[in-house]
Chains A and B, each alone.
Chain A
């Protein structure tokens, strides 16, 4: 009898080539994803060292970070030197013989959206990408984590990484999410409870009934924000939902391999009695639609509540951090979030830009229009999402409501020197980071679920879908 193991232990053991040094393991890497922002430099540095990509077939490259998302885009970018990132990454990928989802390719999009879509990430695989939100892909039951460019270079050259094994922390989500709350609200709720260092260095395993009943796209949203908890990554062991999602994806196994793979994936559960370094239990029933008020994702509250005083914060913080956030956001303690006028609304990013996100937002926007003066933008996460949304008419709903309808990419989730929101403009955003100047110099970001972003765009202030007048009242 072997000792009970977590799903993470099983994946680690299956990929452990050897021990190296006193305390590290050499871990086999099955998939490497690169984008033009941090992947190009890894390829360039590898070439300059005279080394080659060990197995080009395992490497996928896309353009998402600095490409424009305006219709009719090309290699030219609004970001002053963006073109260089695109053309150099493309040329290096072609020289190395890597699979490239380039501009104009129907498979192009945000790396953490296209990888699940294409079946690049699968249960049981190890996958790395020089991007902190790679943890998203643990939602498919693979071991996926973000790395730096030097580590990417190591993985490219050797198909391995030298790793210290992280401890596993289980977050069990009991009960069910109330109607009208989503995985994004759950992620912000957890951040509020345990803080932006709350899972530092740990592998999170999400478990419990609320996770079991969650669709895969929602799981991707939840796992996406593990990096905001300072986790190593997150994983949801594969179940029947995962297997159904993966089936027939372009890079998923087919035929006899599919049957073998499914049988293997069913063994990748955490064993009863497996030991976790930490255990946290969350009551899904207590989750409410959330919105962030500060400059760290842990600074979030339910929509109808007020900016909390320092002593009302749940997770550890300091007076300095609290005061700096208030000052930056132009808020004071006791101000209700749902009274704040907004200048802009953004739906997109690796957190919330998949079909289910766009459908939920469109359901709110249908028959309504954004408030005067509000700049509203929707950026589908991938070219495939965009095409599918257009096939069912969602683009017309967004456009008729006064939203811009963009080409796929990371877009205004972060400011790279090109497009931005203005100084002190208040933006409600379905993204993952509300850091100072993240979406533009001195821009004030409030994180929320896509339906909250849609409702706020219509009301011209931070608002819940429940705050909207019914359509019959509007018609009258």
Chain B
């Protein structure tokens, strides 16, 4: 996973409440068992003039040349609600977004962001959208600085911050503790044998 340290980029404003993962990547755009090939489907229902078509709708902000190359997305309340599909984050990332700033996020979507090197920032995007020019995000300092120098501080829990800053693979980190998990499962199996459906195995549980 690519580490996230700092990011300086234009921010694309799509400040609507309850932008759901069906809107971010419609189910019909998830065409194969893959994490790739999703960027063209990003916001497909709003972005193109016809369902299933590929002709850009000029009235949709993603097609506004002023925001070409933006890698920060400004969203509304409860961003990423609905289906747990991680394809929403994969589509945003493949398109080129690295951070989303919204007043609040759906918890599953937010977790999916962190697992994919996408920084979810809980902050009011409206004042940020009001200043022209790029934003500068510094994850270590937990700040977003607008082009006029005004800074917004954001909160992020230490575990998520560490994962993003270092680009860590959480599975590797957890597998380092396999012995601890095995010992825990062996004790738990004695206390709650019906929790375990397989025969006791080499894994000790």
Residues of A that sit less than 8 Å from B by CB: 14, 17-18, 20-24, 26, 28, 30, 37-38, 40-41, 44-45, 49, 51, 54-58, 79-81, 84-85, 88-89, 122, 124-125, 130-132, 146-151, 153-154, 157-160, 162, 164, 166, 196-197, 200-201, 227-228, 230-232, 251-253, 257-258, 260-261, 264, 295-296, 316-318, 320-321, 324, 414-417, 423, 433, 435-438, 441-442
Would you give the shortest CB distance from B75 to chain A, in whole angstroms? 13
Report A-chain residues with C-beta under 8 Å of the C-beta of B31: 80-81, 417
Q: B107, B111, B159, B197: which contacts A230 (Cβ < 8 A)?
A: B107
Report B-chain residues with C-beta under 8 Å of the C-beta of A252: 194
Would you give the shortest CB distance from A130 to chain B, in whole angstroms? 6
Q: Is the CB of B78 within 8 A of A196?
A: yes
Report B-chain residues with C-beta under 8 Å of the C-beta of A58: 196-198
24 contacts between A and B (CB under 8 A): A21-B158, A28-B181, A38-B86, A51-B171, A55-B201, A131-B83, A132-B82, A148-B108, A150-B115, A151-B112, A154-B170, A158-B174, A160-B181, A197-B77, A200-B104, A230-B78, A321-B16, A321-B17, A416-B28, A433-B82, A435-B23, A437-B22, A437-B26, A437-B51
Would you give the shortest CB distance from A406 to chain B, in whole angstroms? 19
The 10 A-B residue pairs with the shortest CB-CB distance in the complex, in nearest-first order:
A57-B198, A417-B28, A253-B194, A441-B51, A22-B158, A148-B112, A148-B86, A150-B115, A24-B159, A321-B17
B69 at the interface (CB under 8 A from A): no
Would you give the shortest CB distance from A222 to chain B, in whole angstroms? 19
Could you say which of A55, A230, A295, A296 has the most chain B C-beta atoms within 10 Å of its C-beta? A230
A299, closest chain B residue (CB): B18
B28, closest chain A residue (CB): A417
Q: Is the CB of B35 within 8 A of A154?
A: no
Residues of B that sit less than 8 Å from A by CB: 16-18, 20, 22-23, 26-28, 30-35, 45, 51-52, 76-78, 81-86, 89, 104, 106-108, 111-112, 115-116, 157-159, 162, 170-171, 173-175, 177-178, 180-181, 184-185, 188, 192-199, 201, 203, 205
Q: Is the CB of B171 within 8 A of A23?
A: no
Q: A132, A153, A158, A441: which contacts B83 (Cβ < 8 A)?
A: A132
Q: Is the CB of A150 within 8 A of B86?
A: yes
Main secondary structure of the interface of A (DSSP, over half): loop
Q: Is the CB of A164 within 8 A of B194?
A: no
Q: Is the CB of A441 within 8 A of B158?
A: no
Q: Is the CB of B158 within 8 A of A257?
A: no
Q: What CA separation (Å) do A287 and B2 show in the bound complex? A: 50
Report A-chain residues with C-beta under 8 Å of the C-beta of B116: 150
Report B-chain residues with C-beta under 8 Å of the C-beta of A253: 193-194
A58, closest chain B residue (CB): B197
Report B-chain residues with C-beta under 8 Å of the C-beta of A89: 33
Could you count the A-B residue pairs with CB atoms below 8 Å apart for me: how many are there?
204
Q: Is the CB of B17 within 8 A of A416?
A: no
Contact flag A415-B28 (CB < 8 Å), given A21-B159, A130-B86, A230-B107: yes
Report B-chain residues with C-beta under 8 Å of the C-beta of A231: 107
Q: What CA separation (Å) do A72 and B112 show in the bound complex? A: 37
Report A-chain residues with C-beta under 8 Å of the C-beta of B112: 148, 150-151
A320, closest chain B residue (CB): B16
Q: Is the CB of A257 within 8 A of B108?
A: no
Could you say which of A122, A232, A296 has the most chain B C-beta atoms within 10 Å of its C-beta? A296
Q: B20, B162, B175, B196: which contacts A21 (Cβ < 8 A)?
A: B162
Could you say which of B18, B175, B177, B178 has the most chain A C-beta atoms within 10 Å of its C-beta? B18
Report B-chain residues with C-beta under 8 Å of the C-beta of A22: 158-159
Q: Is the CB of B177 within 8 A of A197?
A: no
Q: What CA separation (Å) do A232 and B111 show in the bound complex? A: 11
Q: B35, B115, B192, B201: which contacts A41 (Cβ < 8 A)?
A: B35
Report B-chain residues with C-beta under 8 Å of the C-beta of A197: 77-78, 104
Q: B17, B22, B85, B181: which contacts A317 (Cβ < 8 A)?
A: B17
B20, closest chain A residue (CB): A435
Q: What CA separation (Å) do A158 and B170 show in the bound complex? A: 10
Report A-chain residues with C-beta under 8 Å of the C-beta of B28: 79, 415-417
Q: What CA separation (Å) do A298 and B12 show in the bound complex? A: 27
Q: Is the CB of A57 within 8 A of B196?
A: yes
Q: Is the CB of B177 within 8 A of A26?
A: yes
Would you give the shortest CB distance from A168 to chain B, in whole angstroms? 14
Q: A160, A317, A436: which contacts B23 (Cβ < 8 A)?
A: A436
Would you give the shortest CB distance from A201 to chain B, in whole angstroms? 5
A41, closest chain B residue (CB): B33
Q: B107, B195, B203: which contacts A30 (Cβ < 8 A)?
A: B195
Q: Is the CB of B104 within 8 A of A131?
A: no
Q: B16, B170, B185: which contacts A28 (Cβ < 8 A)?
A: B185
